Structure 1
């Protein structure tokens, strides 16, 4: 097993598109139909294995409401990748996603790794954004695109793993090959979650600081960013 790596991932998108639901589904395999909108950024940590590489993900869930947009650069500075979320039943959330990409690149540069996800694909009959439209835009900005559903637990882990795998590729500057759909074959499940994927929780994880708002079984939720070491990885 290679030395553990640590990456910061931010979730961006308009309010009510399901960023928090996607995060909690990935981290703890839970879903709440009455999930409240995030009003401040929090981060949650998750240990996973991609191939033979251990990775700690610090997943930042940001508020998407208009009044919080100015705070965006504060939360996604030093991010290694971004999961850009829109609601397939709301065209406006997709149109506004393009603004998020521009803002993100303004702060982090054009080579920031992005995966665009269309949430609520369980409501396909009500879709306003075609998959062709989304794919065309994703390709134009060098991003991957997946349709996901936090409620139905479809492609949730795949979206995080796609982003993580591409970050690893970028850091190593060596293609690892495969498509987002191929992650099922390269990553194994060790606890619970999506069949065929490896998502390992760390039951011994300690709070990062004293400003913990919630912590359960390897899940840390706080409102402060973990410190960085000189090599750019998060301290454990």
Structure 2
């Protein structure tokens, strides 16, 4: 009788500012649905999914963190034993026509979610050093006309632009 191999488990912690779409990404991946009426995550939510791959079976533990500042002190404890840190930012109002001035608070907020990814990366590196995979995800790309990559931050990350509302590219993550 062949020995039964242990189920490989991977902890993925989803990080990013409030309202960038972390919950939408996870919900699309887990249940193949999108809901426009999400409430802000309070503290943290945990979901688990078993994936049956061609050559093995793995269990993914998905940790959906709250993006609000008041929950920030909880985040390091969830990062500590993670295999993957998925850092999400909102691209919806970042990519405006050349020369356009960011005049609305929404546009400034979306741009700020990208700028804040460096803080999230730093927090992951503080807790895990180089012993973690960091994935930078630009979300809500279905809401933009122009796309542009910000090269400086992307040097150390694999990037996918995803569309949880339309179920495009979630499985590639």
For normalisation by structure 1, the TM-score amounts to 0.61
Relative to structure 1, the CA distance from residue 2 to residue 131 in structure 2 (aligned partners, 3 Å threshold; closer, same or farther) is farther
CA contact (8 A) 1:45 1:59 kept: yes
CA RMSD of aligned residues (A): 1.7
Q: CA deviation at 1:2?
A: 6.0
Aligned length: 153
Which of the residues 97, 112, 127 maps onto 1:92? 112
The alpha carbon displacement at 1:47 in A equals 0.7
Higher relative contact order (CA 8 A, sep 6+): 2
Task: Identify the residue that residue 104 of structure 1 maps to in structure 2.
Answer: 124
Aligned equivalents of 2:16, 2:53: Cα separation in 1: 26
CA contact (8 A) 1:119 1:148 kept: yes
The 2-side partners of 1:102 and 1:45 are apart by 26
Match of 1:138?
A: 154
Residues 188-232 of structure 1 deviation map (CA, whole Å, 9 limit, x = unaligned): xxxxxxxxxxxxxxxxxxxxxxxxxxxxxxxxxxxxxxxxxxxxx
Following TM superposition, where does structure 1 have runs of at least 4 consecutive aligned residues deviating by more than 2 angstroms?
1-4
Match of 2:82 in 1: 79
TM-score by length of 2: 0.82
- Match for residue 164 of structure 1? none
**Deviation string, structure 1 residues 27-84 (Cα, Å, up to 9, x no partner):** 1111110111101101100011344121100100000111111111122220111111
Secondary structure of the residue aligned to 1:132 is: coil
Q: Secondary structure at the match of 2:144?
A: helix
Deviation of 1:131 after TM superposition, in Å, equals 3.2
Q: Would you say the 8 A contact 2:43–2:74 is kept in 1?
A: no
Partner residue in 1 for 2:136: 116
Unaligned segments of structure 1, at least 5 residues: 160-236
Deviations 1:109-153 (A, max 9, x none): 12310111100011013x6xx5321x54222xx210010111111
